[in-house]
Amino acid sequence: MIAIRVDTRCGLGHFMRMKWLAKALIEQQQQVIMLVDEHTVPVRFYHDVDIELIEVPQQPDVVSDAQFALDALARRGATVSGWVVDGYGFDVQWEAHIRQSGVPLLAMDDLAREHVADLVADAKWQGSQTALRYDGKLADHSQTLLGPDYCILAPEYHYPEAQVRDGGLLFSLGGGGDWRVPAKWIARLLEAPPEGLETTEIQVVIGPKATSTEQLSILAAQHPRLTLIEQATSLAPYYQRCGLFVGALGTSLYELAATQTPALSFSLAVNQDNALADLEALGHYLHIPDLLAQDTHKVIGLIATLYHERKRVHQLRTKAAIKVDGLGAQRIASALLNGTGAGLTELRDANEQPQISWTLANNLRLTAVTDAHINRYLSARNRSDNAWRMTITDRINTVDHYRWWFRQTRDSFVLLQDEEPLLYVWHQCTTIDGQAYLFGGWFAASDAVNFVHAQLILQWQLTYTAEVYPDAIWVAVINKQNRFVNLLNERAGFVALADNEPAHDAARRLFPNASPADFNFVGKYPPRTNCE
């Protein structure tokens, strides 16, 4: 028999993943008994699995909790061959007390806490740091199962159905959460919908421990296209159908990855904070931790933009470097029962080779920017050594950036040094009063950028655009304090634009935030300027 102690006082997320682990253990001919906190788990959440439940009253400390669990099983005459514990309240003392029984113990975690358990399973992905998450935090006998290969999901996530994506918008905060702010978003989407979302279906998953849901009930009574989903035992069908998910990260990170669902997420708790690069490995690129604190009007605009561009967001999912296959429970069950030892999730080669690239030097390669650069582009743009040179010196807000990204039409490229971004360069062609004008720029993505790199990229850009836009006039504005770029452009053939030149007027229109007191207005004329 396998005994599972799970914390159910702070929501049912831990219980649900232990339910699916229990199912995997039962499939391997194991009996399972679960110990949960008293009066916290409705019958509907476990009636479909053949497990026995023991309710644990509030105990004065963790050692007393562990002893209660041991005594409860002893009274039943149960012979336990393995223990599993899942909950932040069960610490090293709890684990040590259980291990005194001589039975192997598996601990679930996602916060990299200290453990003395025989096995520690943690699905969190932290890139190359994943293997190091528990260095110095485990007993000598402890082994680890690390990364999304050990993410426990409901069985239906192993065989996701064909995705129709006709379900509109789906909102969820997980098993709990305060709905005050998201309810304001939903009200705006219903009462003053952005263009194209006037008839879009909106579904809201309300967890058993959710708060501030009254406004949602009022809205649902007034608007037929709003559906409240309560008492749901699985969200897989909703993930598979929705056009865009908006909600808290939590467990949904792996469920969304398994179903390749386009998503915009935010954080409700510390364990939902993740480095963007780690989320990107799972195909999830659109995460704004403090989205709940952002301007409502801007958030609504972002949701509308992402919903319209959901096919592009879905494409990012399909290129994930880590595949979540829904078999984590089976892997953990096998490790517990068969002693298969430590395990670590490996990256798969998901790098899409660009259709076109330019080799500028032995270790320098230029490629077109794709949607996979959405976060690195912003990170580079917001570097302090870049911002002061711009016509807009303030940091770019992530909500604003995401909205801009899916609407902009500039041609952007990235210069890679040993396959790592070195700098970004962009240009755009527009017609003003019958004349084609090119404008653009570049900004560093690394401290390693030097004059040679900038000169190489400018030479490439001018050659490339001369072929594509032979009649266009280049216009630029350069901060007068930026001697580096002023010299660079002067060598490339840019000249000062007189106030009465049409190109000067064009530059003023294209760069409205550039003051003549602070910026030089320059241009580069082609051999001929008549538009064809």
Q: Which domains does the chain have, with CATH numbers?
A: 2-153 (3.40.50.11190), 158-318 (3.40.50.2000), 357-524 (3.40.630.30)
C-alpha separations of 345 from 125, 149, 279, 348 in Å = 9, 6, 14, 10
Q: Which residue blocks in 76-118 are alpha helix, DSSP H? A: 92-99
Assigned token pair, 260: 């390749």
Whether this prediction's pTM lies above 0.85 is answered by yes
Helix (H) or strand (E) holding 385: helix 384-387
Residue 486 to residue 454: CA distance in whole angstroms: 12
Residue 161 confidence (pLDDT):
61
Residue 393 confidence (pLDDT):
67
Q: Tens-digit pLDDT profile for the chain (532 aa)?
A: 999 999 998 778 899 899 999 999 999 999 999 999 999 998 888 889 999 999 999 999 999 999 999 999 999 999 999 999 999 999 999 999 999 999 999 999 999 999 999 999 999 999 999 999 999 999 999 999 999 999 999 999 987 666 678 889 999 998 889 999 999 999 999 999 999 999 999 999 998 889 999 999 999 999 999 999 998 878 999 999 999 999 999 779 999 999 999 999 999 876 667 899 999 999 999 999 999 999 999 999 999 999 999 999 999 999 999 999 999 999 999 999 998 778 999 987 655 555 688 998 888 999 999 999 999 999 999 998 875 666 566 889 999 999 999 999 999 999 999 989 999 999 999 999 999 999 999 999 999 999 899 999 999 999 999 999 999 999 999 999 989 899 999 999 999 999 999 999 999 999 999 999 999 999 999 976 444 4
User: Given CA atoms 83, 87, 89, 93 in this order, what sign does their dihedral have?
Assistant: positive
Residue 324 to residue 155: CA distance in whole angstroms: 12
Q: Which residues contact 468 (CB under 8 A, 6 or more apart)?
A: none
Centre a 10 Å sphere on the Cβ of residue 519 and count the other Cβ atoms it contains: 20
